[in-house]
Structure formats: structure tokens, C-alpha cells
Amino acid sequence: MKIFRRAALLAIAAVAALAVLPAFSATAQASSPQPMRIGVIGAGSLGGSVGRALVKAGHEVMFSSRNPDQLQAMAKALGPKASVGTPKEAAAFGEIIVTALPYSALQSIGRDLQPELRGKIVIDASNPTRWADGELYQQAMRDGVGATSARLLPGTRLVRGFSAVNATAIAASSEGRRTTLAVPIASDDQAALQVVAQLVRDAKCAPVITGDLASSRVFEDGTPIDEADTDEASLRRLLKLPRS
Ligand SMILES: NC(=O)c1ccc[n+]([C@@H]2O[C@H](COP(=O)([O-])OP(=O)(O)OC[C@H]3O[C@@H](n4cnc5c(N)ncnc54)[C@H](OP(=O)(O)O)[C@@H]3O)[C@@H](O)[C@H]2O)c1
């Protein structure tokens, strides 16, 4: 029952956000209406930074590893809102999932954890590389990383996010040690985009919505946007988007 109530609240929050925000706008809102459960799959540099920023924002985060014990000390230092588990446990725990993995690992995650991930918002930050991902890299370059991730994670509400910013810049922004970091995000799912935009704000970063999943091409590896690690006004200028 509890799970259904949370799912209903999440849906209401998303619909409410859509009602007050124009399409493709990321207009400010103070914080998420209620803490969410986030499952981080691939809690290395990037996933760890995003997860820690979201714990500090008051969300409950399960950090996962194939060897969860190695994350215990980090989670303990973060307090009761942080926990550790396997990737399967994190996929089951999260209402929202963050994937920050070597790109090829999305294949097994999408296949093996399909029941746990089905219908959930997945924020995918994973990037393919020529040297590590072979044929999958070629496919992603041809079809777009967004479309390729959506194919590898079937049945999810996929959002590309945190893929074009550096883990250290996320940490610095969330701790107020730099100007607020702009984070480009893209999805075919408008409601998911608004939920993720709010999570980006909760992490003390600034979401910049580029549009549908195909639009994530503009912030793929090798573009001027990738790891520009700049503020919202500069990112909007680079992307030729109107000012917020
Ligand atoms: N680092 C950045 O600043 C940054 C910025 C933007 C995007 N990204 C992207 O984020 C992804 C991760 O980068 P990273 O720098 O965070 O790498 P990382 O520090 O090496 O972390 C990768 C994590 O993936 C997990 N992992 C590896 N293979 C796995 C598998 N088969 N199944 C489940 N988990 C697996 C590892 O967890 P265990 O070994 O503990 O299981 C590890 O913690 C990459 O695609 C990268 O392009 C990184």
C-alpha cells in the first residue's frame, strides 16, 4: 500500500509541476514536494557525486555496487538517508534511478533488472567510449546516445542527465563552492523531465532542458557542451536557447 501511495504522490507531483510550468521550461521551484527514494546504479565518481548531493537535499539514496560492502563507510558518513545494496536492490528501492556505468554495462542492467526498472524514471549519465564499447559505440554515434540508452533500458522513462558535467563540478556546486552548475537534460517524457529538473535543483545545480531525447545529441561527448561545466546563462548561450 505504502508503495502505491508514494507512486500516487509522485504522479500527482509530476502532474502539478506540469500544470504550473510551460513545456520545456525549467522555472525555479524551491525543492521537491517530498523526499524521494533514489537508487544509484554505478556509485563511482559520477553516481557517487549525484547521490551524495541528493542525500544532502534530503532524499533517501541507495548507493549500489557489485560489492556493496565497499560503500558502507561512505554511506555511514552520510547518515540515515543513505544506504547501500546491490544494483538489483537499488533498482527495486528507487522511485527514481540514476545509472552511471561503463556504457556496455547498460546492456546487462537493462536486461537483468527490467522488472525492477519498468515504468521508472531513469536518469542515465553513462557515455559510450570508442575504446571500451566497440560496436555499441558505433550504434550510439549513429542513432544517438539517447535513443541507444532508451533501447538498452526498455520500459523505463528515460532522461539523459548529468552525462555532460563533471563529477567534481557537481560536488562543488552542491556544496556551494562554485557558481551554480548548469546541467543539460533531455527526455521524450515531459513529466519525467520536470521531476528530474527539480532533482537537479535539489542538488543545487541548474537544469537546462534541451528538449526531447534526440536533442541530447547537442550535449554528447565531443560537443562544445560536454563538460563545459558552466553556469546556466552561458550554457543557454552555447545552446542558443532563450534566457530562463
Ligand atoms: N566521472 C565523471 O565526471 C563523469 C561525468 C559525466 C558522465 N560520466 C559517465 O558516468 C559513467 C560512470 O563514470 P564514472 O567516472 O563514475 O566511473 P567509475 O568511477 O569507474 O564508476 C563506475 C561504476 O560502475 C559500476 N559498474 C561497472 N561495471 C558494472 C556492471 N557490469 N554492473 C554494475 N555496475 C557496474 C562500478 O561499481 P562496482 O565495481 O562497485 O560494482 C563503478 O562504481 C561513465 O559512462 C561516464 O562516461 C562520468
Domain ranges of the chain: 2-24+31-239
Encode pLDDT of 53-101 as tens digits: 999 999 999 999 999 999 999 999 999 999 999 999 999 999 999 999 9
Atom nearest to 104 CA in ligand 1:
31
* Local structure of residue 181 (DSSP, 8 states): P
Mean pLDDT of 172-176: 98
As a whole-number percent, the residues of the chain with pLDDT over 70 amount to: 88
What's this model's pTM, rounded to 2 decimal places? 0.90
Q: Please state, in angstroms and rounded to a whole number, the distance separating the CA atoms of residues 88 and 10.
A: 22
Mean pLDDT of 115-127: 98
Q: Residue 156 in contact with residue 231, Cβ under 8 Å?
A: no
Q: Residue 124 in contact with residue 180, Cβ under 8 Å?
A: no
Rounded distance from Cα 243 to ligand 1 centre (Å): 33
Q: What is the band of 126 on the pLDDT scale with cuts at 50, 70, 90? A: very high
Residue spans of beta strands (DSSP E) within the chain: 37-41, 60-64, 82-85, 96-99, 121-124, 157-161, 182-187, 206-211
100 in contact with ligand 1, CB cutoff 6 A: yes
Q: Please state, in angstroms and rounded to a whole number, the distance separating the CA atoms of residues 195 and 224.
A: 26
Q: Which CATH superfamily is domain 2-24+31-239 in?
A: NAD(P)-binding Rossmann-like Domain (3.40.50.720)
Query: For the chain, first and last CA: distance in Å?
Result: 40
Phi, psi of 75 (to 5 degrees): -65, -40
Atom nearest to 71 CA in ligand 1:
40
Instruction: Determine if residue 49 is left, alpha or beta; phi over 0 gives left, psi from -120 to 50 gives alpha, anything else beta.
Output: alpha
Rounded distance from Cα 118 to ligand 1 centre (Å): 22
Rounded distance from Cα 68 to ligand 1 centre (Å): 14
Count the alpha carbons within 13 Å of 102 in the hemisphere toward its beta carbon.
9
Atom nearest to 168 CA in ligand 1:
3
44 in contact with ligand 1, CB cutoff 6 A: yes
H helix runs in 28-166, sequence order: 45-56, 72-78, 87-93, 105-112, 114-117, 130-143, 145-152
Burial class of residue 146 in the structure, from the number of CB atoms within 10 Å of its CB (0-12 exposed, 13-18 middle, 19+ buried):
buried
Strand partners, 186: 160, 211
102 in contact with ligand 1, CB cutoff 6 A: yes
Strand partners, 161: 185
Strand partners, 39: 62, 97
**Position with higher pLDDT, 145 vs 22:** 145
**Position with higher pLDDT, 17 vs 207:** 207
Q: Residue 96 in contact with residue 11, Cβ under 8 Å?
A: no
Q: What is the band of 30 on the pLDDT scale with cuts at 50, 70, 90? A: low
Atom nearest to 48 CA in ligand 1:
16
* Residue that is written with C-alpha cell 537499488 in the block: 90
